[in-house]
Structure 1
Amino acid sequence: MKQPKILFVDHTATLGGAELSLIDLAFAYRRSSQVLLFTDGILRPRLENLGVTVKLVEASQQILGLRTSGGLKALKTIPELWRIARQVATEAKGFDLIHANSQKAFIVAALATLQGSPPVVWHLRDIITAKHFSRLNRRIAVTLANQFATKVLVNSQATGKAFIAAGGKASLVSVVYNGFDSASFDCVSTQAIQQIRDSLAIGNKILVGLFSRLSYWKGQHILLLAIKQLPQVHVILVGDALFGEEEYVSYLKTLANEPELKERVHWLGFRDDIPTLMKACDIIAHTSTEPEPFGRVIVEGQLAQKPVIASAAGGALELIEDGKTGLLFPLGDQIALQQQIQKLIDDSAFADKIAHHGYISAKTNFSLETILNSFDRAIKTIDT
């Protein structure tokens, strides 16, 4: 079957959740499509090694460093955005559509339509709220979407509802969840798991894993506070600070050095062996203090066949059936999180049952094949 020609556009070349999803999409359409990045980084060789064509349209740090909460600062970037949009329009000639993988990429792609580019699809992967987006940025993004987007793909119903609540047209929205290939989890050996646990020198202690960049809203402190009174529990924190959040990291390290927690918190930084690390854990925790648009680590934890405990908000409510495919706890409530961890420790049969049902749910609902079919159906409705 002939594939549509898609120009995938992203402003960043780091490996966040959105970019990991982009890798899957770009690889699936690699025979007819290509990726355009606004900066160079680890994403480029990762794509090229998979046979994906990648080009760069360099953007300044003024563009790349602009936060979604930047407010009026965004207006100063308009001349450069227009310049980049002209380049994107040139690169897009011959393609059927542009897939904008981030808000900055979408704004540029929307401007590119004024210069003759093909239809634009915005893959919205953020919950648009006042907490993370300034009023001006919300207005700009939603107005441009209503005017120029042919389709707004969202990574959860929660993301779609927030877009509509911000003034976005409901008719534009299609839900396309993130997809996952379970093979990397299914092939992890018992020996590799034991090597991880031996390297941590934890013996048979309970190991809880939290996989996320270190940021206050990701809630690592919630987990550390929760295990204070659980002396048999160790924690691995997989990730590091990305956006000037060193002050929060200092707070976490001060907390981890308190007598009740000392030598029970293991800092692993960014790692490539996520499946093995997750399989080495007894429990996977998701502790965001605000609604998560999707919650990639939740599905990964389920694919690792581990019981997952997650903050009860946002996309997590679509990934977990509480008490069956995982456990939920109220946002920011370390006491409730402590109780859920204790429940799994006290009842291993229950923990195994949760892990089993979570695995089946992830394999059934979020397989890469299922999500690619969903993406394909969504873009086939676009008039190119």
Structure 2
Amino acid sequence: MKQPRILFLNHSAVLGGGELCLLDLAEAYQESSEVLLLSDGELTEKLCKIGIKVQVLPASESVLSIRATSNWKSLQAVSALWELAGKVSAIARSFQLIHANSQKAFIIAALARLRGSPPVIWHLRDILTADHFSWINCRVAVTLANYFACQVIVNSQATGKAFVELGGNSALVNVVYDGISPHRFQQPLNLDNLRNELGIGNAPLVGIFSRLSYWKGQHILLEALRKLTGVHVLMVGDALFGETEYVAKLKALSDLPELAGRVHWLGFRHDIPSLMQACDVIVNPSTAPEPFGRTIIEAQFAGTPIIAAANGGAIELIEDGYNGYLFPPGNVEALTRIIQTLLRDRALSSQIAKQGAIQAQQKFSLTQSLNNFNAVLEKVLT
């Protein structure tokens, strides 16, 4: 099929997991497509750097300040949303379809559809539950999807199940797992030099790669680390949405005498593959269900054993004890035991990592993901 003209729409220019996936999609379709962002930032720079056409249509503060957990604020912004949808519709009319990469982007795209824009695909990357979203936001998004989305792409079965349980039309749902380019993990590295630069040396090293947020569970790993003498942790990521109170809690925890000097705060980094390969174990300890779990797949591509909380998309990515380990969400004792096992039994650790890498190559390569994405496009355009 000839490359379709797609307008990729995203409300944020912050580089989160969804935005990293958008970069891959936009690059694959860059000959015929463009990206429209509703705010400026690092994503804009990344897109321009790889030659992708991008426009920034700044949304009003009343739109950008809507939060997932807000109720009445969402309704109060209807006028601003409608005005913005008109502008999006005018831009979108020269394209064959709109790909809405976030919930906020989809609501705007659905309203734009009312104003004459082309068909809309919603790429749903969140589990729509009360853990993260207000009832009003969920109901509005699902209702608009049933009426105005021609397809809903979900990044896991767990994400699709939550959408349907809220009343979403199951006939719209297509599971397309996010893909990772393996080439990023195949560069020659001197891991000893990297560890020395980080101040780790030969110490056992556990990594956690995520924005700092309570539900991401960094505190669970730090509590486990208190029981793991001599083990260091790489804390890669930072708060994206002003969660300063939680960050302060993590900092206070890391300053305890039994943890002092063993927690390495790296903030946002662009050398994720190298850092993952430098770790002995990677942990994804989310206390609420992960819609997908990009870190899990990246760890497998890096050849590093992964431990994840047994919820959401993680259950679809990990076969416990075969290509990774699962533990009950929030269970510090269980997490501690698994880390100890992997650090002590290097043969087991190597085997787990090997099986994880095989699965990642077979099921979660970028090529496989793009093939599945293209199959959804064919449903819409043929």
Which TM class, normalised by the smaller chain length? over 0.9
Question: What is the rounded CA distance, in whole Å, between the counterparts of 1:334 and 1:195 in structure 2?
Answer: 32
Deviation at 1:253, TM superposition (A): 1.1
| Alignment pair present for 1:224 and 2:233 | no
Q: Secondary structure at the match of 2:380?
A: coil
Q: Deviations over 1:188-225 (max 9, x none)?
A: 41x2x222210232222110000011111110010010
**Amino acid paired to 1:70:** S
The equivalent of 1:89 in structure 2 is 89
1:272 to 249, 267, 270: 270
Question: What is the rounded CA distance, in whole Å, between the counterparts of 1:188 and 1:115 in structure 2?
Answer: 52
Deviation at 1:383, TM superposition (A): 4.5
What is the TM-score normalised by the length of structure 2? Answer: 0.98
**Amino acid paired to 1:185:** F
The equivalent of 2:160 in structure 1 is 160
Moved over 4 A (4+): none
Q: Deviations over 1:9-67 (max 9, x none)?
A: 00001110000000000110001110001011111121112121101111022211211
| Alignment pair present for 1:129 and 2:129 | yes
The equivalent of 1:283 in structure 2 is 281
Kept after mapping to 2: 8 A contact 1:177/1:366: yes
Question: What is the rounded CA distance, in whole Å, between the counterparts of 1:165 and 1:356 in structure 2?
Answer: 36
The equivalent of 2:301 in structure 1 is 303
Question: What is the rounded CA distance, in whole Å, between the counterparts of 1:45 and 1:27 in structure 2?
Answer: 14
The equivalent of 1:178 in structure 2 is 178
Q: Secondary structure at the match of 1:150?
A: strand
Question: What is the rounded CA distance, in whole Å, between the counterparts of 2:250 and 2:45 in structure 1?
Answer: 33
The equivalent of 1:208 in structure 2 is 206
What is the TM-score normalised by the length of structure 1? Answer: 0.98
Q: Secondary structure at the match of 1:267?
A: strand
**Amino acid paired to 1:4:** P
Which segments of 5 or more consecutive residues in structure 1 lack a partner in the other structure? none
Q: Secondary structure at the match of 1:68?
A: coil
The equivalent of 2:250 in structure 1 is 252
Q: Secondary structure at the match of 2:55?
A: strand
Question: What is the rounded CA distance, in whole Å, between the counterparts of 1:337 and 1:64 in structure 2?
Answer: 37
Kept after mapping to 1: 8 A contact 2:192/2:201: no
Which segments of 5 or more consecutive residues in structure 2 lack a partner in the other structure? none
Q: Deviations over 1:165-208 (max 9, x none)?
A: 1110100000011111011111141x2x2222102322221100
Question: What is the rounded CA distance, in whole Å, between the counterparts of 2:45 and 2:343 in structure 1?
Answer: 42
The equivalent of 1:371 in structure 2 is 369
The equivalent of 2:261 in structure 1 is 263
Question: What is the rounded CA distance, in whole Å, between the counterparts of 1:188 and 1:57 in structure 2?
Answer: 40
| Alignment pair present for 1:316 and 2:296 | no
Q: 1:231 to 1:267 in 2, by over 3 A?
A: same
Kept after mapping to 2: 8 A contact 1:71/1:137: yes
**Amino acid paired to 2:237:** G
Kept after mapping to 2: 8 A contact 1:188/1:275: no
The equivalent of 2:15 in structure 1 is 15
Question: What is the rounded CA distance, in whole Å, between the counterparts of 1:200 and 1:82 in structure 2?
Answer: 49
| Alignment pair present for 1:187 and 2:187 | yes
**Amino acid paired to 1:132:** H
Q: Secondary structure at the match of 1:349?
A: helix
Q: Deviations over 1:130-149 (max 9, x none)?
A: 12111111110000000100
The equivalent of 1:77 in structure 2 is 77
Kept after mapping to 1: 8 A contact 2:9/2:37: yes
Deviation at 1:118, TM superposition (A): 0.6
| Percent identity for Structure 1 against Structure 2 | 56
Question: What is the rounded CA distance, in whole Å, between the counterparts of 1:345 and 1:35 in structure 2?
Answer: 44
The equivalent of 2:107 in structure 1 is 107
Question: What is the rounded CA distance, in whole Å, between the counterparts of 2:188 and 2:141 in structure 1?
Answer: 42
Q: Deviations over 1:332-354 (max 9, x none)?
A: 11110000001101211000000
